[in-house]
Structure 1
Amino acid sequence: MYGHHYSPATISNISKATQENVATFHERSLEANYSVLFLDGTCLPLRRGTVSKECIHIALGITPEGQKAVLGYEIAPNENNASWSTLLDKLQNQGIQQVSLVVTDGFKGLEQIINQAYPLAKQQRCLIHISRNLASKVKRADRAVILEHFKTIYRAENLEMAVQALENFIAEWKPKYRKVMESLENTDNLLTFYQFSYQIWHSIYSTNLIESLNKKIKRQTKKKVLFPNEEALERYLVTLFEDYNFKQNQRIHKGFGHCADTLESLFD
């Protein structure tokens, strides 16, 4: 199905075979504990009277043992906290009891939604998003130097050195970019990932893991005709997510195999 061009009628016929898979996907039981939960949204074209973009709110999780999977999704006309809340409620109903860390791009209000659903979960802001935001607010002549300097914050050897690197970064650039640096000073959850095992730092300081999945979804979607309705879109997404989960099922995500016991102990 993927990588080929089909007519709307053919896509409809193929999709009918996956109708039951959609319900099964939403109703399946999930693990009780996840070390990391990544939340991110991506937009896809959908026809609702007229052609529009719909936001797919996606949750991807990694267990203490390092097994990675798409856990659930929610479709809405735009990214919003009501949809994120609904998605987290569904994940709870499917069995997720505890999450150690939630990584997001900092969508306004999402931090509170996460706190309500999983009050014990720590949160990490995506530092790549922070870096992109910095790049958009500084002069082009300073951009490369500033971004390279910013990397010292998330490439430090430990939390103490990271705190010092952040302080040095702000002190260096605040005279020239006061508002930008003040905004950074007021941003929470920048260095949370340092509280976890160093073997997985590279995977949890950003949402890159789930963004790569979202890019794959968009690449595949470009090869297809417009989704005629939300049901067709759901059938397509579930087929893609099930394929992704099947391929990841026998793999241990990089670094997690070295600290599974430590990550598991966080739930004791």
Structure 2
Amino acid sequence: MKESMLDVPGARLRHFVRGSGPLLVLIAGGPGDASMNEALASHLEDRYTVLTYDRRGLSGSTTDEPEVTPATHADDLSHLLSAHTSEPAHVFGSSLGGLISLELAVRHPEQVGVVIAHEAPVTRLLPEPERVAAIQDFLGAEEVFQAEGVMAGLRRSATFLDIDPTDREPDVEPAAWGPDMLRNAEFLLTYDTPAIRAHVLDLAELKGSPARVVPAAGESSRHIWPHKCARLLAEELGTTCEMLPGGHNGYAFRPRATAERIHQVLTERSRQSVAS
């Protein structure tokens, strides 16, 4: 595995590349940095060149402009891709990572092959009053964070996302919350979460994108609204919502099974594209 830094407008991005084969980018959700995808990457590197990274403001990446948006993150990822390939790359993103992957397909479609967007919080797809309730979930987490601190804000988020650390593969241990992760969570709740609330995905542009966008959701998360967002996005795009193992954080808690499903979906969707 090779660790590198890349200067992009307003930030420096720490990223890691391992394996061989077609380029596949993994984008973590929430406060997750590259380490959140470590286990998933280890199960994919025998078939793909896997790129993981710390989003600007997290862990080893810096930012001069903390007021970020999903579009900012998508542009950052575009610079990373340009530094590593001239060919379209596959992308897997979960939660905020899924939203970033959708923005990449809108803003830089020529750089993207298959995009798997797992439970991206596209709240505008939800009917009233579910959309209002989803926005209130984010606001509630931000308010608790401001009043009671970062761990309380995270617990509030984990409640509405129903994060279940017991729903995991036997050899997976939940990540310890060290200083980096706490700083990452503070950045998330200060800057990224309000940006998610305000974000409006351009569905018309997404439908017109040549990228092959695949909405995905967790097998264990049918009762939470991000799962419904994925199903509604699939309906909008006229495609199938693929089921992945586990719940909202299945990529971290069930990395072995998730890697197999990612490979299966990428293989199937790539063949469909060739056939058409």
Q: Could you say which structure has the greater relative contact order, defined with CA pairs below 8 angstroms and 6 or more residues apart?
A: 1
What range is the shorter-chain TM-score in? 0.3 to 0.5
Which TM-score applies when normalising by structure 1?
Answer: 0.36
Which TM-score applies when normalising by structure 2?
Answer: 0.35
